Amino acid sequence: MMDTIDCFRLDANRKINPATRSKFGQFMTNASVANFMASLFANMSGEIRLLDAGAGVGSLTAAFIQEACNRQEKPNTINATVYEIEPTFFEHLKETLSKCKKLCSLNNIFSDFTFFKDDFIETNSDLLSNSLFDKNKLKEYSHVILNPPYKKILSSSKQRKLLSRIGIETSNLYTGFLAIAINLLQNNGEMVVIVPRSFCNGLYFKRFRKLLLSSTAFKHIHVFGSRKKAFKEDDVLQENIIFHAIKGGIKDKVMITSSHGPQFEDMTQRSVSYDKVIKLNDKEKFIHIAASDMDQYVVDRISTFNNSLEHLDIKVSTGPIVDFRLKEDLCKTPEKNTAPLLYPLHFNLKRIEWPRESKKPNYIKISKNSKKWLWPNKGYFVLTKRFTAKEEKKRIVAVVYDSSLPGELIGFENHLNVFHKGQKGLSKNIAYGLSVYLNSTLVDKYFRLFSGHTQVNSTDLRSLYYPPLHVLESFGSKIDENYPNQHKIDRLINEELTQMTDKEGFDPVVAQQKIDEALEIVKVLGLPRGQHNERSALTLLAILNLRPELSWKKSEKPLMGITPIMDWCRNNYGKEYAPNTRETFRRQTMHQFVDAGIAVYNPDQPDRPVNSPKTCYQISSEAFDAILTFGTDKWKEALAKYLSQKETLIQRYAKERDMQMIPVELAKGKEIKLTPGVHSQLIKNIIREFGPCFAPGSKVIYVGDTGDKIGYFQKDRLKELGVEVNRHGKMPDVVLYYPAKNWLLLIEAVTSHGPVDAKRHSELSGLFETAGPGLVYVTAFPDRATMGRYLAEISWETEVWVSEAPTHIIHFNGERFLGPYD
């Protein structure tokens, strides 16, 4: 169902008028995100009253219904209420609701769907306003699933006034929707929403945070690492999060997960206490989302500096000059009675470069209108940009202005933040020390953890922790005419932290630098773009056993399997990946490492079965020798040498792997190769020995391969026999068609797991229920010892064949011999 509804979404996206989208701020949820959101609900039993406001084509409602129908403990009834005001979505939404009703009916769930073509805020602000006098009139929901519109609302707008009337003060539609939804949610009701991260901090969302945190308890927060990928088809520049909360819930543990994009293929996870997310004594009630232990180390390290700007007697303000209000006073060249005017464009490599050729003015006239906004041109001011460009690596960019420009007054434009002392500059060492701190990687990483946008407001800067004055003084005293590079800045910060804590702890900045270097190596070694990510960088570090504090020349060559690699990432770099990402590591990192000749597969035992728990990898000798030189003068030469022989290496390793493959002749002149191992050998024996003996003249329709899962598949022929397998169908290892009897033999090759037990019998029956031929279920074992371990599990009405006694077969039913059972 969700595949069809995702097509509705794509179709609606093409049809919607861009002006309408801009007006309502609508960005629809794709199927994978919707399914993930629905999976977060803890309880879907009993009587459900569901709310989906801003429903679009109904993706979230559909995902909720599908999840509820798939749960072991299903609901008795589902009454869903959806709101949508965009006519482009109406037809698709109606069709979605129809499909949901049919699915509920198939699962014996009574359902009722109400579709309001009304403004959610307008309708429900009236309801909530009336409910202040009559609580019985208010309809409460047990579940809320929401992707609200993202749009700023002016104080003069109709929505803002309606929200204010019911005591909700907010500047964005999404928090307005959320606030109303919280009020409509019953006690112990659950809500799962996808929203911008911006509400987690900042002055504008303080009232909303107070409502959210006083009414609900977070249970799960998911962070998207990529700004664009959650809404890939749309131009969304906000960072988005998904959260699951319970109204009136217990505030104990919060599960925090993260993924780079909406497929959740590289998901990390960690469970934290509630006070790690919302600090107990934080008056601003900022929401801290540390998605990994390494992120938590950032928070913990910066918390060592526990001074506020107020405690330091330093102020930070937004630049007071709003240029469009003082247009008549702006000038590009000096005139009589003018003062210098600084914009972000005057930043150049941690220094001020003024004047500059641009469309912006360099001067401002000192007039009756402008004078009150100009400050004394004395002392050292620290300036930061309020907005950073998408391509800039850092959010906070700080420079020192030393009051060296001509004149007694100075103008700071509104796109700057200015650190000062009563509108006058700071001392030289304090100013330079403060700039060093603000430009550190530690502060940048911390700021990214609690800020979901590229804007840096003075409120955000006031919320940071700062070192004491004597430490800022010390930092500043070490700055000469050449401003320090990033490495020196970070070293200064780390040395101070080590001295203050009297111990050398895990340094997240050093760890991130090592990950960045590993990613650089992954790129220059020629891996495809799909491997240019943190997961692949950490995998490279793991198979080199290179901890953050070690130099590249300390690399080693351990043998490592996928699970040990994941454990290593957690233990050494604080990144805990979810257990279900093992296949992502194997298929989307290690396969490519092996194919590129960077890693070797099972070097200790090349013929080890693919599905063996002892499967391992090792860095190739050639890649290892090159990587040892990274960061030295020899690196370029060693890299060039490696790349020059790369194709030869790939061919050599591929040939070595191919030599281990097991050839299987399906018919005269037709041969396939299976990956090495006992399982593949058993498949070969099924085709060469079982088939000719018990189904002479049978045709091979399908052969599974433990390497790529499909070794051979006559899909069209199977379709002719009445079976069309969807992509979710788990095929048996071998399918034979026996024309003489018109039978399909469904054969499972068992070496370590997976006989045809009652559950598998039911799965195969469902998968092949449309087949024209009769069905015969067979479990094949390599020997009787293996069979003995599974005898208690084997289903009745199936056959068992043992490869070491190929002319015998065991019938698990005394009714008759080999043949389909009706």
The answer as to whether 356 is a domain residue is yes
Same structural domain, 235 and 318: no
Q: Which tens digits make up the pLDDT trace of 209-268?
A: 999 999 999 999 999 876 555 544 444 445 789 999 999 999 999 999 998 888 887 889
- Domain shared by 549 and 646, yes or no: yes
Using the predicted structure, report yes or no on whether residue 325 has a pLDDT greater than 90.
Answer: yes
Strand locations in 560-695 (E): 599-601, 617-619, 662-667, 670-674
Residue 126 CA to residue 138 CA, distance in Å, equals: 10
pLDDT at 497: 87
**DSSP secondary structure code for residue 658 in this structure:** H
- Residue 711's pLDDT is 66
Alpha-carbon distance of 580 to 266, in angstroms, equals 9
Q: Are residues 467 and 325 in the same domain?
A: yes
Predicted confidence at residue 503, as pLDDT, reads 57
Same domain, 472 and 570: no
Joined tokens for residue 275: 């006070």
Top-confidence residue, 531 or 146: 146
* Structural domain includes residue 257: no
DSSP state of 646: H
| Last-in-domain residue among 606, 629, 655 | 655
In a domain, 821, yes or no: no
Q: Is residue 767 part of a domain?
A: yes
- E strand segments, 4-99: 46-53, 75-83
Q: What is the pLDDT of residues 257-302, one digit of tens each?
A: 998 888 887 889 999 999 999 988 777 888 989 888 888 889 888 8
| CATH code, 49 | 3.40.50.150
Residue 738: give its domain's CATH number: 3.40.1350.80
What are the structure tokens assigned to 193, written together? 């929403």
Average pLDDT over residues 457-475: 92
> Are residues 134 and 173 located together in one domain of the fold?
yes
Q: Examine the fold and report which residue of 597, 622, 655 is the final residue of a domain before the chain moves on.
A: 655
Letter for the amino acid at 696? P
Segment 184-204 mean pLDDT: 90
Higher-confidence position of 644 and 421: 421
What counts of helices (H) and strands (E) characterise the chain? 30, 31
Asked whether the beta carbons of 560 and 599 are under 8 A apart, the reply is no
Per-residue confidence band for 379, with pLDDT thresholds at 50, 70 and 90? very high
Instruction: For CA atoms 132, 134, 135, 139, give the dihedral sign.
Output: negative
The pLDDT of residue 171: 77
| Structural domain for 520, as ranges | 509-655
Residue 658 confidence (pLDDT): 55
Least confident of 184-193, 395-404, 704-713: 704-713
Instruction: Find the farthest-apart pair of alpha carbons in the chain and give their distance in angstroms, rounded.
Output: 111
Same domain, 673 and 648: no
Tokens of 480: 């000469």
pLDDT tier at 606, thresholds 50, 70, 90: confident
Query: What CATH number does residue 384 fall under?
Result: 3.90.220.20
Angle (CA) 109-110-113 rounded to 5° is: 115
Task: Give every strand in the sheet of 774-781, ordered side by side.
Answer: 712-713, 699-703, 734-738, 743-749, 774-781, 799-802, 809-811
Q: Which of 467, 497, 527 is the last residue of a domain?
A: 497
Looking at the structure, tell me whether residues 104 and 155 fall in a common domain. yes
The span from the CA of 540 to the CA of 624, in Å, is 10
| 728 pLDDT more than 50 | no
Tokens encoding 597: 């000749």
Do residues 698 and 818 lie in contact, with contact meaning Cβ atoms separated by under 8 Å? no
Q: What distance in Å separates the CA atoms of residue 514 and residue 551, rounded to the nearest whole number?
A: 9
* Section 300-324 average pLDDT: 93
Tokens of 777: 């279920």
Over residues 323-352, the mean pLDDT reads 92
pLDDT at 813 > cutoff 80: no
Residues 736-787: pLDDT tens digits? Answer: 999 999 999 999 998 866 788 888 888 888 889 899 999 999 999 998 888 8
Q: Which of 21-30, 223-232, 444-453 has the largest mean confidence? A: 444-453
At 151-167, the pLDDT tens digits run: 888 777 888 888 888 77
Classify residue 217 by burial, with Cβ atoms within 10 Å: 0-12, 13-18, 19+.
middle
CA 560, CA 601: separation in Å to the nearest integer? 10
Question: Over the stretch 578-603, which tens digit does the pLDDT of each residue have?
Answer: 888 888 898 889 988 988 889 999 99
- Position 271 scores a pLDDT of 94
| Together in a domain, 56 and 188 | yes
In a domain, 261, yes or no: no
Name residues whose C-beta falls within 8 Å of residue 575's C-beta, 6 or more positions apart in sequence: 268, 292, 293, 294, 534, 538, 569
Q: Which of 100, 97, 85 is nearest to 54 (CA)?
A: 85
Asked, for residue 544, whether it belongs to a domain, the answer is yes
pLDDT band at 136 (very low <50, low <70, confident <90, very high): low
Average pLDDT over residues 604-609: 82
Task: Please indicate, yes or no, whether residues 160 and 67 belong to a single structural domain of this protein.
Answer: yes
Distance of CA 348 to the CA centre of its chain: 34
CA–CA distance, 150 with 138 (Å, rounded to integer): 26
What pLDDT score does 97 carry?
A: 94
Whether residue 522 sits in one domain with residue 479: no
Q: How distant is the alpha carbon of residue 529 from its chain centre?
A: 17
Asked if residue 195 lies in contact with residue 250, where contact means CB atoms within 8 angstroms, the answer is no
Q: What is the pLDDT of residue 485?
A: 92
Closest C-alpha among 672, 820, 819, 683 to residue 750: 683
Q: What is the mean pLDDT of residues 344-367?
A: 92
Are 35 and 180 in a shared domain? yes
Map residue 627 onto helix, strand or coil: helix
Query: Looking at residue 726, what is its pLDDT?
Result: 63
**Sequence-distant (≥ 6) Cβ neighbours of residue 523 within 8 angstroms:** 532
In a domain, 605, yes or no: yes
Look at the chain and report how many structural domains it folds into: 4
CB 763 within 8 A of CB 724: no
Contact 44, 71 (CB under 8 A): yes
Q: Please, which pLDDT band fits residue 822 given cuts at 50, 70 and 90?
A: low
- Mark whether 69 and 201 lie in a shared domain: yes
Give the pLDDT mean for 345-354. 91
Q: Which two tokens stand for residue 442?
A: 């530690």
Domain membership of residue 668 (yes or no) is: yes
Which residues in 510-542 are b (16+ Cβ under 10 Å) and which e? bbbbbbebbbebbeebebeeebebbbbbbbbbb
The 8-class DSSP code of residue 746 comes to: E
Q: What is the pLDDT of residues 651-705, one digit of tens each?
A: 655 555 555 555 666 666 677 777 667 788 888 899 888 998 898 888 889 988 6
According to the model, what pLDDT value does residue 329 have? 94
pLDDT at 708 over 80: no
pLDDT of 573 reads 93
Give the chain's mean pLDDT. Answer: 86
User: Are 266 and 581 in contact, with CB atoms under 8 Å apart?
Assistant: yes
Compute the average pLDDT of residues 126-134.
61
